Amino acid sequence: MSVSAQRAIPFVLVVLGLAGSAIGSYLTIAHWGDQPIACGGVGDCGYVNSSEYASVGGVPVSALGAALYLAMTAVALAWARRACVDWLPIAYWGLALAGAGYAGYLTYVELAVLHAICIWCVTSAVLLAVSLALSTAAVLREPGSTEATLDAEAYQGRQGTGP
């Protein structure tokens, strides 16, 4: 993976996190406000978000999702500012793994139990899957490869032997 791609990952993850936070917030407001959800004619968002699976201990799953996305966004922002801190990509990956795993379970519930989908929930699941894929790519890079490449590029730039 190129250095520029490695540098871009946390910024892309911030955008994905903000999008997920917006979805989770919208669904939470609709859930607590007992308001209809704009589903665009795809699926049955109202049924899915009012089902017995839509809350855990009285807390809407969408609120838990919004909180997860906010945590992911905070970690991605820290990662973007401090790319040399090796545990930040791992922390993000752990959050993304947990979120994608739970989203997978909820998608199963939608399809196999409720026989209805919520387009917002599916979109959130896709955001989590992409977040997991990108963070996995970042975590699996060679340890220190970003820093070593950056040091090499800086050295070449000073020597005038850049690409």
Rounded to an integer, what distance in angstroms lies between the CA atom of residue 18 and that of residue 72?
9
Per-domain boundaries in the chain = 3-145
| Run of H or E including 55 | strand 55-56
Tens digit of pLDDT per residue, the chain (163 long)?
Answer: 667 777 899 999 999 999 999 999 999 999 898 888 998 888 899 999 999 999 999 999 999 999 999 999 999 999 999 888 889 999 999 999 999 999 999 999 999 999 999 999 999 999 999 999 999 999 997 565 555 444 545 455 555 555 5
Say which DSSP state 118 is in: B
Residues 6+ apart with CB under 8 A from 44: 116, 117, 118
Q: Residue 31 is which amino acid?
A: H
Residues 6+ apart with CB under 8 A from 154: none
- Note the pLDDT of residue 41: 85
Q: What share of the chain is helix, strand, coil (3-state, %, to 5)?
A: 75, 5, 20
- Note the pLDDT of residue 113: 97
* Burial state string for 82-118 with b = 16 or more CB within 10 A and e = fewer than 16: ebeeeebbebbbebbeebbebbeebbebbeeebeebb
- Note the pLDDT of residue 157: 56
- Note the pLDDT of residue 1: 63
CB 17 within 8 A of CB 69: yes
* Selection from 154, 161, 105 nearest residue 128 by Cα: 105
Q: Which fold has domain 3-145?
A: de novo design (two linked rop proteins) (1.20.1440)
